[in-house]
């Protein structure tokens, strides 16, 4: 697919003194990639997303000590002990952070399932339903929650079931078109292709630097966006994991973009014009062909894509490592 295939030239916007962040919000739903409440208040995103790494960072900040203490105190009231107690506190922390985030953002929050369940469809189903139940106990309807699941074959199958139950899913750690197509065919609510991590792999593999328009992560999301719009898939595309502002601007017009506080700040501090690069109408003229998938084809195509295979497994390991650190941190709190 051509990197320019989805460009929408007539939709160019001049700044008129408006920040790039405000201009971007005209084309794209902006999501904050953080667990820090003050950041959310500063940049006023529509949605927010968290992951184990972000929650670990937030949990260790003095500003959130009261929230962590509440999770520990509330969970101790039951009969759980040992590892079961720590697991219960972990879930409670995720839901408390999500609940507080939803007091700030008008839209949705994404809450991540355990990385060590990435290949366990039944385990993911139990966890997704459990999160929805916990949010319900906090007075939050399922419409405001996205359950984050790694885009493995097993994760996609879990999302397919959860979606039929009215539980919306955000498919994360997504690095390839076959993953995206399988998610759309399972009617997942949203996918999160990881732009920056794709770039990381190619830079390391080739030793090259890439301008934003030729960035492999950007091109991947353009391809996925075009595929979805051309073939009428309702699954939302949310570009994620950005390394620089240029990647974001090349994807202006994408359904959603989840952006770190640093890059939100860069967008807010600039009044340069932002041009819409992606639109449904121009995507429908793309020459991309429909991809037929079953489990065997999915696994083969993923295996043949070294970048996607390596970044998916690495991402699961990293999220699990941070979840382990968070469990250790909680364990120290419980013993203390």
**Gap between the Cα atoms of 155 and 96, Å rounded:** 24
230 is catalytic: no
| Cα 258 from Cα 264, distance rounded (Å) | 10
- Out of 25, 88, 127, 148, the active site residue is 148
Residue that the structure tokens 């939709």 belong to: 11
Scanning the structure block, which residue is given the tokens 């839901």? 95
Least Cα distance to 1 among 237, 276, 291, 249 occurs for 291
Tell me how far apart the alpha carbons of residues 246 and 252 are, in angstroms, rounded to a whole number.
10
Three-state DSSP class for 57? helix
305 close to 176: Cβ distance less than 8 angstroms: yes
Q: Per-residue DSSP letters for 241-258?
A: --SSHHHHHHTTTSSEEE
Q: How far is CA 24 from the centre of its chain?
A: 18
Secondary structure class of 203 (helix, strand, coil): helix
Q: Please identify every residue annotated as catalytic.
A: 148
């Amino acid at each position: 697919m051509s990197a320019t295939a989805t460009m929408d030239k007539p939709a160019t916007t001049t700044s008129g003194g408006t920040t790039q962040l405000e201009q971007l919000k005209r084309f794209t739903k902006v999501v904050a990639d953080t667990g820090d409440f003050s950041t959310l208040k500063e940049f006023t995103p529509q949605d927010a997303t968290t992951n184990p790494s972000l929650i670990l960072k937030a949990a260790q900040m003095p500003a959130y000590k009261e929230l962590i203490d509440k999770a520990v105190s509330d969970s101790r009231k039951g009969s759980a002990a040992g590892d079961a107690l720590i697991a219960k506190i972990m879930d409670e922390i995720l839901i408390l952070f999500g609940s507080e985030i939803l007091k700030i953002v008008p839209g949705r929050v994404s809450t991540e399932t355990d990385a060590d369940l990435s290949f366990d469809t039944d385990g993911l189903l139990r966890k997704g339903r459990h999160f929805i139940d916990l949010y319900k106990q906090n007075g939050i309807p399922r419409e405001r929650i996205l359950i984050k699941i790694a885009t493995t074959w097993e994760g996609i199958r879990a999302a397919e079931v959860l979606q039929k139950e009215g539980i919306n899913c955000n498919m994360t750690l997504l690095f390839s078109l076959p993953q995206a197509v399988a998610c759309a065919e399972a009617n997942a609510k949203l996918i999160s292709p990881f732009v920056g991590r794709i770039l990381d792999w190619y830079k390391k593999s080739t030793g090259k630097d890439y301008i934003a328009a030729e960035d492999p992560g950007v091109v991947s999301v353009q391809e996925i966006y075009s595929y979805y719009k051309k073939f009428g898939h309702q699954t939302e595309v949310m570009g994620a994991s950005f390394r620089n502002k240029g990647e974001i601007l090349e994807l202006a017009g994408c359904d959603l973009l989840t952006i770190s506080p640093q890059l939100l700040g860069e967008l807010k501090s600039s009044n340069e014009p932002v041009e819409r690069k992606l639109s449904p109408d121009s995507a429908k003229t793309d020459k991309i062909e429909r991809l037929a998938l079953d489990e065997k084809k999915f696994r083969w195509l993923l295996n043949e894509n070294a970048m996607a295979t390596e970044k998916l497994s690495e991402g699961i390991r990293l999220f699990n490592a941070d979840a382990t650190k968070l469990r250790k941190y909680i364990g120290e709190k419980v013993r203390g």
